[in-house]
Amino acid sequence: MRAIRLLFVVLLALFLIALALANREIVTLSAFPANFGQFLGGQWTVNLPLFLVIFVAFAGGMLAGLVWEWLREAHIRREARAHRDRAARLESEVGQLRQDHAAPQDEVLAILERPKTTPAPTPIPSPEPAPGTTLPASR
């Protein structure tokens, strides 16, 4: 990917250098139509190489497009920020609720949530064995 990006930058630089060399003529750039600048007073023209006019116009268009898109997407960024803040607030609230309700507050819930243990068998207090617990006598 890095090699493709480098190749693109080199080709773009070569194209821009060729464009600049091909358009070295000096042109007069006027801010207003003919003779309109006389009403405002002052010099409203400038002499520049044509490639500089092309590059400045391109850069100005890119800057205008960047500002336009930034302003157009402002409501999307504002909405995303509101959603992010709401999600953070809700996560904080869930964490607080988990801490507050970590142990059951109700006695019935405490009994139900207690781990189940099997009780140990209780011995029969009589000296003779319980019926059905002995083997039949051999013959």
3-class state of residue 26 by DSSP: strand
User: What digits encode the pLDDT tens for the residues 52-105?
Assistant: 999 999 999 999 999 999 999 999 999 999 999 999 999 999 988 888 777 656
Q: b/e for 128-137, b at 16 or more Cβ within 10 A?
A: eeeeeeeeee
Average pLDDT over residues 112-119: 71
Residue 138 backbone zone (phi > 0: left; psi -120 to 50: alpha; other: beta): beta
Contact 37, 44 (CB under 8 A): yes
d(CA 54, CA 48): 10
Domain boundaries, the chain: 18-100
Percent of the chain past pLDDT 70, that is, above it, reads 81
Cβ partners under 8 Å of residue 48, min gap 6: 26, 27, 29
